[in-house]
Amino acid sequence: MKDNNDMPGHLARRFQQIAVAVFLAEVGEAGFDLTPVQYAALATIKANPGLDQITLAGLIAYDRTTITGVVDRLVQKGLAERRASRRDRRARELVITDEGSRTLRKITPAVESAQAIMLRGLSSKEGEELMRLLRKAIAAGNELSRAPMRDAQAQDR
Amino acid sequence: MKDNNDMPGHLARRFQQIAVAVFLAEVGEAGFDLTPVQYAALATIKANPGLDQITLAGLIAYDRTTITGVVDRLVQKGLAERRASRRDRRARELVITDEGSRTLRKITPAVESAQAIMLRGLSSKEGEELMRLLRKAIAAGNELSRAPMRDAQAQDR
DNA sequence: TGATATTGATCAGTATGCTGATCATCAGTA
DNA sequence: TACTGATGATCAGCATACTGATCAATATCA
């Protein structure tokens, strides 16, 4: 009888569950209130100022309907801004605020600490190997979810 | 600058996202409407007939408040039953129905196929290694989430 | 140009997952 | 036995994620 622990899907859920808990604990202890999802979105907005929501969703592989709520909360917290695009009036351009930049900078140690803690059972070589295998499996399965990863397209067509 | 792809937490989310999508696709194509979470719960009820919800939650590491809804849906679909326990009137004893057993049996090929698909980018040796590393990281982090894994306790105290 | 298809964003609805609270019941102890 | 703390279950509220729909705006092509 196949056990749950032989199912990669179950192990994936479990590891993710721990990863989220560790992230929230570390970031919370540092005095910030930001989820892993919000952090990834904010960091990606900072790295790609002015990108629209679809591009943001593609870069971090979020569903397009999820990104709306995530950006809502970033805006509500004053960490990012949503502006109407002049190039395409359907689109919203996203930029990080000063407050958002400050938060990102101050939160970095907690985020790095969280990444270390979730791998604390592994040697550093094993941690590297785990990440390599995850990246490889993800690359092969990228198109299988509704929210595949997409590179940013040049925005000045 | 650290990329999202260097973050185990991000990779975990991404892999899990693909795993869920693959599971739903395979199971759906086989004609069933069952989520990964519902599947794991149902299989665990079958393997431990009469267990209470807290024990079930512990065996598969679900939060206790999540299990209520999951069991609700299994019951609503006629796959499991919730009975008052005579040993402890606070507790609900869970049992699988005949329909539930039938469903589990018929769904197995789709579930196994899903597990294979989510690892399709890896050699079988790499797949094994990924599972080993996940299990190891999970074991070390078990207590860090609100819903750690717990063995079943003897129920006849 | 005008019809059609596509695209960016949002919404309603559903299913996980969590925090923190409440309620009933049980267990252990004074 | 009465009190106290622990436990099983549920609830309200919030944040991801998804399906499928809708709407406005853009792109494409006959």
Separation of B147 CA and C18 C1' (Å): 10
Separation of B117 CA and C12 C1' (Å): 32
**What nucleotides of chain D have any atom within 7 angstroms of a protein Cβ?**
7-13, 15-21, 24-27
Q: Say what the pLDDT of residue A1 is.
A: 57
The answer to whether position A24 is within a domain reads yes
Q: Which nucleotide is nearest to A62 (CA to C1')?
A: D17
Residue B77 C-alpha, separation from nearest chain A C-alpha, in angstroms: 22
Q: What is the pTM of this model?
A: 0.94
The answer to whether position B152 is within a domain reads no
Structure confidence by residue, pLDDT tens digits, B129-152: 999 999 999 999 999 999 999 987
Percent of chain A with pLDDT over 70: 96
Structure confidence by residue, pLDDT tens digits, A22-78: 999 999 999 999 999 999 999 999 999 999 999 999 999 999 999 999 999 999 999
Q: Say what the pLDDT of residue A5 is.
A: 85
Structure confidence by residue, pLDDT tens digits, B34-74: 999 999 999 999 999 999 999 999 999 999 999 999 999 99
Q: Tell me how far apart the alpha carbons of residues A133 and B53 are, in angstroms, rounded to a whole number.
A: 35
How many structural domains are present in chain B? Answer: 1
DSSP chain B: ---GGG-HHHHHHHHHHHHHHHHHHHHHHTT----HHHHHHHHHHHHSTTB-HHHHHHHHT--HHHHHHHHHHHHHTTSEEEEE-SS-TT-EEEEE-HHHHHHHHHHHHHHHHHHHHTTTTS-HHHHHHHHHHHHHHHHHHGGGSSS---PPPPS--
Domain assignment of residue A57, given as a range: 9-144
- Kindly report the CATH number assigned to the domain that includes residue B35: 1.10.10.10
- Chain B residues in contact with A22 (beta carbon < 8 A): 9, 141, 144
Q: Give the mean pLDDT of A127-153.
A: 93
| A&B contacts, CB < 8 Å | 191
Instruction: Identify the residue among A1, A2, A15, A63 best suited for mutation to test binding to B, counting B beta carbons within 10 A and taking the highest.
Output: A15
Query: CB–CB of B33/B120 below 8 Å?
Result: no
Q: Which nucleotide is nearest to B54 (CA to C1')?
A: D8
Give the Å distances, CA to CA, from B117 to A8, A70, A144, B127: 10, 30, 10, 11
The answer to whether position A1 is within a domain reads no
The answer to whether position A62 is within a domain reads yes
The answer to whether position B4 is within a domain reads no
Confidence of residue A155 (pLDDT cuts 50, 70, 90): very low
Q: Say what the pLDDT of residue B151 is.
A: 84
Q: Say what the pLDDT of residue A4 is.
A: 83
Residue B82 C-alpha, separation from nearest chain A C-alpha, in angstroms: 22
The answer to whether position B84 is within a domain reads yes
B42 token code pair: 């149902």
Separation of B71 CA and D27 C1' (Å): 48
The dihedrals phi and psi of A42, each to the nearest 5 degrees, come to -65, -45
The answer to whether position A152 is within a domain reads no
Separation of B157 CA and D16 C1' (Å): 40
Query: CB–CB of A133/A71 below 8 Å?
Result: no
Q: Tell me how far apart the alpha carbons of residues A12 and B13 are, in angstroms, rounded to a whole number.
A: 8
The answer to whether position A155 is within a domain reads no
